[in-house]
Chain A
């Protein structure tokens, strides 16, 4: 996806290409590691490293400003899903304190053609890369969050649901002139 003309008009690729490439990646990691926990950890790490770079792309192209509350953040994550995966996601499930919310994904392009084998069904976090990406991206704008998969279509749930919990603002990391 490269910059072309106006800010949201980017080169589009077929989502199946993404599905298949990601599938290859996960299959390879599963092959490389004996332990499913290690696989999950690797997926999260890959996501994190993507997130810390992708955030700059998001900021440069959407021109959005700093978030002052988590609802702002949630809206922007929604925009980001639209930009990078071409899907609309639902935001909901707010905790009473407003520090935790859920991202509901009806049709997840990453899992389109996927069914998990029995030995991995309960343990593998197939979309773990999304959680890592959200965590990495938010860390770069000085928000520490926790992100995990709470429902998974691959495990028989109706939707895929990610939950995001605000931990703290990284005050030391806020650049001068921005606080």
Chain B
């Protein structure tokens, strides 16, 4: 029973809330000797594995640290260029840490606003009249459940495929939103939700659902 995250999209399509609940961390650290048998390239401001998958280091992973020193863009935090370090035989053995690239806030906003037209297209593509938009989007590793209120706010939960009762959870989150976000006099509509009470109650709800299932909520 795992819930990966919760997203709320306003009626105009902007991401107003995002909560990463239980995102699995995939990080692998390994010591390499010269020459490096993994192909790395610099892409989108990070150093990505393009070929040579092994030992839990997968294609698409990014290089996070060299000898425990973190990386920003293609530079080590001590100022050296990562590729210079890797290509220099004298630096070996090298300890490299790889992991899944983390989504930045900007990327999340971008993806959330991309879901908005998909939802609308789904309802127009429908062969049957009066169809809703996407309610469940299923992939081999997760399921995205979406609930749109009558006022047009979308609530999305990304969870494990086997997780049941997500419709009820979405309605519960809607209630929390109505209670703790909208009744907060300092929250203005359509703006990102920064209400601590909402966060804590949501966290408690998700924990409870994961622990004891949806029926006890």
Contact = CB atoms under 8 A, between A and B. Distances in A.
Interface of A: 2-3, 52-57, 59-61, 63, 65-66, 140-141, 173, 175-178
A59 B119 contact: no
B175 to A, nearest CB: 4
B171 A177 contact: no
Contacts, number: 63
A59 B153 CA distance: 12
Interface string B115-130: 0000110111000000
Contacts of B179: 2-3, 57
9 contacts: A56-B178, A57-B179, A60-B177, A63-B171, A140-B151, A175-B148, A175-B152, A176-B119, A177-B132
Nearest to A63: B171
B151 A55 contact: yes
A177 B189 CA distance: 22
Nearest to B153: A56
Interface in B150-179: 150-153, 171, 174-179
Contacts of A66: 150
Contacts of B175: 3, 60-61
A21 to B, nearest CB: 14
Contact of A141 (B122, B151, B177): B151
B56 interface: no
Contacts of A65: 150
A120 to B, nearest CB: 27
A35 B65 CA distance: 68
B133 A176 contact: yes
B46 to A, nearest CB: 35
Nearest to A65: B150
Contacts of B150: 59, 65-66, 141, 178
Contacts of A54: 182
Contacts of A59: 149-151, 174, 178
A53 B132 contact: no
B131 interface: yes
Interface in B183-209: 183, 189
B11 interface: yes
B171 A60 contact: yes
B6 to A, nearest CB: 15
Contacts of A178: 132, 148, 150, 152
